[in-house]
């Protein structure tokens, strides 16, 4: 038997110490240390076992190692489907639709003949059944377990051996051998470690639902995100019906992809054409609005940038940005002042991406500048024009990537003119129905779009 000792663990970041501290030296959180009991094992008790080693070149993979969910938006974010034996962490605000998404995924997979085990630590089987009936979901291979004890969950998994396992949520699962409360750092880490070993050993694809903190990050230690293979964040505004699924970590695919869903009374519905949705209701012949093709992974999306420039009522002008990096907006305002000669020192600047989308790519720089200039001069931009390009601090318009995809998406939605960096026109394929104009500087772009 090992020696039983106590330690203090920060419930915010997982920092450990042998004495209580008021402030965590790692994350600077106050009153976050909780006393936990652990057992220090002797090295003599460590079990020695034989392990097999093989060459990487001899490892064989096939297409069956990925499971299609029949939800194209989710498959795109995952990199083409669910990898067998992978551990996927799904986080998001309460009520955003995490459980709804996973119960729909479970229904799709079970209808394909796969065995699914849905472990709910927050709802009873009757409550899960009521939610499934509301979503009109029916399946013969979907098993429900309402349990929070890790030992019982492990026994059921090894007995049923499902193809896909869903844990909702990891903060409710506890190990009776650990004295700390469910949801603590030790409990979350131990539960995830046990589930990871089961998933890898038996080839079970496992989804884990994780609560988020008020800052929007996954509750519990950062090591939780390091242990899993994929981390997905479900984003969306409380008062909007659209939801965005974003990968922030993916060992089997890109982390730049996003999936878009709409929450309806029948559950989450895929949005196959986000550009059309984001541009619906766009005002025409109104100053301060510009359409910009933005890339989210390999998918081009047309977003509307709206700006409002008004006289400031105070000595210090305000700069407000929603969906766009604030510092980027400040830089673009400075370029307008220096290179175009606009006097923005007595003006407030408010800028927003319509639809609640967030983007940080530099290819929207020229769109930001044009939108601000349009509102400042109260001249509207041609509603059939899209604008794209990265802007440097000297006012030059620089090359951007995926230019063909951006222009093709604009042409598909009826736009007939595109303002792009001139350097991109050299290797651009001809696209019917849209006039492409290359510019080298911000001054040249303003002359074409706003007449000087």
pLDDT tens track for 325-379:
999 999 999 999 999 999 888 899 999 998 778 888 999 999 999 999 999 999 9
Helix (H) or strand (E) holding 404: helix 403-412
What integer pLDDT is reported at residue 48 of this predicted model?
Answer: 59
DSSP string for residues in 70-135: S-HHHHHHHTSSEETT-EEEEEE-TTSSHHHHHHHHHHHHHHTT--EEEEESSS-HHHHHHHHHHT
Over the stretch 309-319, which tens digit does the pLDDT of each residue have? 999 988 889 99
Which of 125, 64, 77, 124 has its CA nearest to residue 105? 77
The CATH superfamily of 66-272 is P-loop containing nucleotide triphosphate hydrolases (3.40.50.300)
Asked if the model's pLDDT at residue 263 lies above 60, the reply is: yes
Q: What residue ranges of the chain are covered by domains with CATH 3.30.230.10? A: 277-450
Q: What is the CA radius of gyration of the chain?
A: 26
Instruction: Reply yes or no on whether the pLDDT at 214 is more than 60.
Output: no
- State yes or no: pLDDT of 449 exceeds 80: yes
> In this predicted structure, what is the pLDDT of residue 240?
74
pLDDT at 40 (0 to 100): 60
Q: Point out which residues pair with 353 in neighbouring strands.
A: 305
Best CA proximity match to 369, nearest among 278, 292, 280:
292
Q: How many CB atoms lie within 10 A of CB 66?
A: 20
Q: Between 240 and 150, whose confidence is greater?
A: 150
Residue 5 CA to residue 87 CA, distance in Å, equals 31
Average pLDDT, the chain: 87
Give the Å distances, CA to CA, from 93 to 55, 186, 276, 420.
Answer: 43, 23, 26, 38
Contact 294, 303 (CB under 8 A): yes
Whether the pLDDT of residue 4 is over 80: the answer is no
Closest CA to 269 of 56, 8, 277: 277
> Residue 253 corresponds to which tokens in the numbers above?
């695919």
The pLDDT value given to residue 3:
64
Q: What is the mean pLDDT of residues 302-310?
A: 94
What's 277-450's CATH class?
Answer: alpha beta
| pLDDT recorded at residue 223 | 66
Q: How confident is the model at residue 281 (pLDDT cuts 50, 70, 90)?
A: confident
| SS3 assignment, position 281 | coil
**Residue 452: which pLDDT band, with cuts at 50, 70 and 90?**
low
For the stretch 182-209, pLDDT in tens is 877 778 888 999 999 999 999 999 999 9
pLDDT at 89 over 90: yes
CB atoms under 10 Å from CB of 345, counted, come to 10
Mean pLDDT of 16-23: 89
What are the beta bridge partners of residue 419? Answer: 387, 437
Q: What pLDDT is stored for residue 213 in this prediction? A: 61
Which residues sit in the known binding site?
A: 92-99
pLDDT over threshold 80, residue 216: no
The percentage of residues in the chain with a pLDDT greater than 90, rounded to a whole number, is: 51
Residues of the chain with CATH 3.40.50.300: 66-272
Q: 34 vs 416, which has greater pLDDT?
A: 416
Q: Which of 126-135, 266-275, 384-393 has the highest mean pLDDT?
A: 384-393
pLDDT of the residue at 14: 75
Give the mean pLDDT of 121-131: 90
pTM of the model: 0.76
| Residue 43 pLDDT | 53
Alpha carbons 107 and 142: distance in angstroms, whole number: 7
pLDDT digits (tens, 9 = 90+) for 414-441: 899 999 999 999 888 888 889 999 999 9
Terminal Cα distance for the chain, rounded: 82
pLDDT given for residue 424 in this prediction: 93
Beta strand 435-439 with 205-210 is unpaired
User: Could you tell me which residues are annotated as the binding site for ATP?
Assistant: 92-99
Name residue, tokens 């110490």.
Answer: 17
pLDDT digits (tens, 9 = 90+) for 47-80: 556 667 888 888 877 666 789 998 999 999 998 8
């Amino acid at each position: 038997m090992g020696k039983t000792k106590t330690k203090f663990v920060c419930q915010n970041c997982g920092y450990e110490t042998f004495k209580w501290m008021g402030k965590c030296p790692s994350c600077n959180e106050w009153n976050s240390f909780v006393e936990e009991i652990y057992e220090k094992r002797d090295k003599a008790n460590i079990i020695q076992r034989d392990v097999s080693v093989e060459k990487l070149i001899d490892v064989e993979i096939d297409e069956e190692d990925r499971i299609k969910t029949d939800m194209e938006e989710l498959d795109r974010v995952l990199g083409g489907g669910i990898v067998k034996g992978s551990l996927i962490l799904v986080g998001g605000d309460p009520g955003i639709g995490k459980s709804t998404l996973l119960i729909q995924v479970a229904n799709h997979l079970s209808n394909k003949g796969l065995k699914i085990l849905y472990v709910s630590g927050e709802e009873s089987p009757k409550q899960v059944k009521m939610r499934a009936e509301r979503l009109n979901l029916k399946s013969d291979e979907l098993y429900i377990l309402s349990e929070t004890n890790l030992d019982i969950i492990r026994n059921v998994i090894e007995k049923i051996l499902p193809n896909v396992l869903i844990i909702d949520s990891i903060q409710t699962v506890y190990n009776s051998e650990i004295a700390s409360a469910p949801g603590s750092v030790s409990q979350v880490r131990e539960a995830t470690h046990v589930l990871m070993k089961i998933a890898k050993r038996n080839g079970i694809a496992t989804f884990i639902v994780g609560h988020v903190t008020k800052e929007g990050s996954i509750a519990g230690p950062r090591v939780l995100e390091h242990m899993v293979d994929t981390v997905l964040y479900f984003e969306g505004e409380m008062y909007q019906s659209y939801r965005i699924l974003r990968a922030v970590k993916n060992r089997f695919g890109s982390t730049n992809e996003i999936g878009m869903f709409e929450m309806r009374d029948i559950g989450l519905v895929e949005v196959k054409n986000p550009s059309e949705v984001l541009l619906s209701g766009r005002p025409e012949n109104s100053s301060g609005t510009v359409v910009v093709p933005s890339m989210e992974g390999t998918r081009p999306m047309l977003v509307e940038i709206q700006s409002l420039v008004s006289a400031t009522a105070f000595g210090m002008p305000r700069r407000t940005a929603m969906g766009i990096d604030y510092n980027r907006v400040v830089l673009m305002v400075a370029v307008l002042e220096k290179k175009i000669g606009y006097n923005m020192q007595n003006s407030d600047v408010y800028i927003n991406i319509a639809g609640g989308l967030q983007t940080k790519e530099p290819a929207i720089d020229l769109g930001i500048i044009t939108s601000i200039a349009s509102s400042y001069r109260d001249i509207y931009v041609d509603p059939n024009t899209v604008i794209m390009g990265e802007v440097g601090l000297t006012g030059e318009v620089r090359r951007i990537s995926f230019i063909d995809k951006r222009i093709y998406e604009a042409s598909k939605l009826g736009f007939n003119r595109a303002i792009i960096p001139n350097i991109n026109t050299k290797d651009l394929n001809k696209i019917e129905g849209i006039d492409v104009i290359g510019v080298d500087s911000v001054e040249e772009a303003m002359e074409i779009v706003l007449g000087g």
